[in-house]
Each structure stands twice: as structure tokens, then as C-alpha cells.
A and B are shown apart, each in its own frame.
Chain A
Amino acid sequence: QAVVTQEPSLTVSPGGTVTLTCGSSTGAVTTSHYAYWFHQKPGQAPTTLIYDTKYRHSWTPARFSGSLLGGKAALTLSGAQPEDEADYYCLLSYNGARVFGGGTKLTVL
């Protein structure tokens, strides 16, 4: 099965902007991978932020946006808040199977 890669950790200042990326061992990530983004805080179940590359759920703050960037899926957080500190995971689809990335630990400091 494919391997999905994410930055292990990133730091952003409060109010700052950060981009997390999600790459695929099989090549460029496209809209056919239907990229998803989730975040998870300690002791909680994950929460879905973005689906199908760029669509926000009704509960997703507008400061989160999804896109394709340089052959990868990307999650951009604009105007980081202290409550955005969490683990972030991407998920890609491969002809029915799904593969998560290893996760990015985002620190807001």
C-alpha cells in the first residue's frame, strides 16, 4: 500500500499562518485522492476539518483551507489560535483503500 507523508512537527505563532502538506509515495496528489484533513486533541476523537481536497464542514472554522500545492495536498491555517494546537492528519484515497499520513504535531507558540 501507498505511504502518505506529513511533516512530523510544525510551530506557528499566534495569529500567524502555517501550511501543512500531505504527499503520496505513488506520485502527485490529485483531486482523485479526495484528500481529507483531521485534527485531534489529547484524549479526544479526531474531528474532520476538510474533505475532497478543499471543502470545509459546517463546523470547520474559516481560518482553515485545503488545496493542492506542488503535487501535495495542503492545509493552510491563517490566523492561528491557541486552540488550534493539536495533531493533524491527512487521509488519501487509493481506489477504495484509504491511507493516513503519520500526522503533524502543530504547536502554537
Chain B
Amino acid sequence: EVQLVESGGGLIQPGGSLRLSCVASGFTFSNYWMHWVRQAPGKGLVWVSRINSDGTTTTYADSVKGRFTISRDNAKNTLYLQMNSLRADDTAVYYCVRDPPVDYWGQGTLVTVSA
């Protein structure tokens, strides 16, 4: 059974940093691209970033470029999102998603940026 389990969310002050993790199981993690998608409370889905299967190619949404870094450790079946210079509008549930094709989603981890 494919499973994606996110962790690392929590309450953080503006300007702070946080690292999210997504542990994958039930499939060969190193064969797949992965994405991070977020959803602010009561709002729609927003694509954040993606990484290719071996970690050599990354792409970011303009809203997080230069502040967030996506990475992966295929030996640990784990996807990461390092988030720096956090702002209030980064408050959201963050999901990791498998690709291609985009199919399985984790249950998400909530990040709250507030003083």
C-alpha cells in the first residue's frame, strides 16, 4: 500500500525556519518525482515545488523561490522541504504528492506562522 506521511509542521514565528519531511512507503521512492502542495485555511490548493527522481532538478513557485528548498534522500525514502524566512501567508497545510502521474497524496502537516 502506497503511503506518504508528512511531519515537521507546527507554530513558528515570522522570519523563522522549519523543515518538513515526507516519508514514503509501499513503492520504489527513487523512481518517482515528488511535489509539495499547500493549502491555506479555507483556501484552494497551491503548488509549491517539485523534485525529480534523483534530486538533480528542482522547480519552485515564484512565491517561495529563494526561501524554500526541496530535497530528498532516496536511501531514507524521504522528501524534505526546508522553509526559511517564513511569513504569515505561508500558513497552510503542506501535502507531499507522488508523480508521475500525480496520484497519491499524504494527509498533510499544518504550518502556522504567527507571532
A residues at B contact (CB < 8 Å): 1, 36, 38, 40, 45-48, 51-52, 55, 57, 87, 89, 91, 96-103
Q: Is the CB of B101 within 8 A of A1?
A: no
Q: Is the CB of A51 within 8 A of B105?
A: no
Q: Which A-chain residue is minimally distant from B108 (CB atoms)?
A: A45
Min distance, Cβ B7 to any Cβ of chain A, angstroms: 15
Min distance, Cβ A24 to any Cβ of chain B, angstroms: 14
A-B contact count (CB 8 A): 55
Chain B 86-110 interface residues, beta-carbon cutoff 8 Å to A: 95, 100-108
Q: Is the CB of B50 within 8 A of A52?
A: no
Q: Which residues of B contact A1 (CB under 8 A)?
A: 61-62
Given A45-B106, A100-B44, 12 more pairs with CB closer than 8 A: A1-B61, A47-B105, A48-B101, A48-B102, A51-B101, A51-B102, A55-B101, A97-B61, A98-B47, A99-B47, A100-B45, A103-B44
Min distance, Cβ B89 to any Cβ of chain A, angstroms: 16
